[in-house]
Copies of this chain bind each other. A is one copy, B any other.
Amino acid sequence: MPGDGDREKQAVVLVSGGLDSATVLALAVSAGARCHALTFDYGQRHRVELNAAKRVAHALHVVDRRVVRLDIGWMGGSALTDNAIPVPQTPTEGIPSTYVPARNTVFLSIALAWAEVLGAADIYIGANAVDYSGYPDCRPEFIRAFETLANLATKAGVEGRGFRIHAPLMNMSKSEIIRLGTRLGVDYSLTVSCYDPDATGLACGACEACRLRARGFADAQITDPTRYVDVAGAEIQ
């Protein structure tokens, strides 16, 4: 096992390819952590985000990067993984159909396993409760409950080398996140937020993720580098 000194410097960061996780990765790097980026290929409709995750991780000089293929698409139950469920184009009441059952629980569990093997104490996730879409696993009480679980579930936790789950964007608005990332040098043109992009990664401009992102750049008064498809399928800037 590494000494506490080594351990303190390592982190596992969930990197999806979106704007929030890119900002979190930049924050973890700026805090001096040796970052191990973890990305999931879970049959998501917006698979171009996998390429975005790769670009983001490389741009921010992670120590290591892994893509875990998670064979849960057969479950269905979400517009993001089930082609039979359309991505909503207008705001909906309650938790939207883009909710993926227990997604952050599954992602954090595997991040926890990797952190324990690495001897890393810190796990970072871009969960956000302000501009979030009502997802239950993007709330502070979820993060706290997972941290409690992590320290009961593991050999490291039982032996007093506990884990910290960091969700530093939890209480920030999208525009605050964009301002923070811009200060940290994040190149948001590398990221993809859209739930329903075309095959080349151009954003639809209509889904909830696109609307939140566009409003964030407008509110932050920062030029939006997102590349959108127009309704006829041609790229617009």
Contacts and interface: CB of A to CB of B under 8 A. Distances in A.
A117 interface: yes
Given A142-B152, A152-B136, A68 B77 contact: no
B149 A136 contact: no
A171 interface: no
Number of copies: 2
Interface stretch (A55-63, A103-111, A198-206, A223-231): A103-111
A110 B116 contact: no
Interface of A: 66, 68-72, 74-77, 95, 99-106, 109-110, 112-114, 116-117, 136-137, 139, 141-142, 145-146, 148-150, 152-155, 157-159
A144 to B, nearest CB: 9
A113 B103 contact: yes
A75 B153 CA distance: 17
A77 B155 CA distance: 11
A71 B146 CA distance: 22
Given A101-B113, A110-B72, A149 B145 contact: yes
Contact of A106 (B76, B110, B142): B110
13 contacts: A72-B110, A72-B114, A101-B114, A102-B112, A106-B110, A136-B154, A136-B155, A136-B157, A141-B152, A142-B149, A145-B145, A145-B153, A146-B153
A61 B113 CA distance: 33
A92 to B, nearest CB: 13
Contact of A69 (B71, B76, B100): B71
B74 A71 contact: no
Contacts of A155: 95, 99, 101, 136
Given A148-B145, A149-B142, A149-B149, A154 B102 contact: yes
Contact of A66 (B74, B106, B112, B150): B74
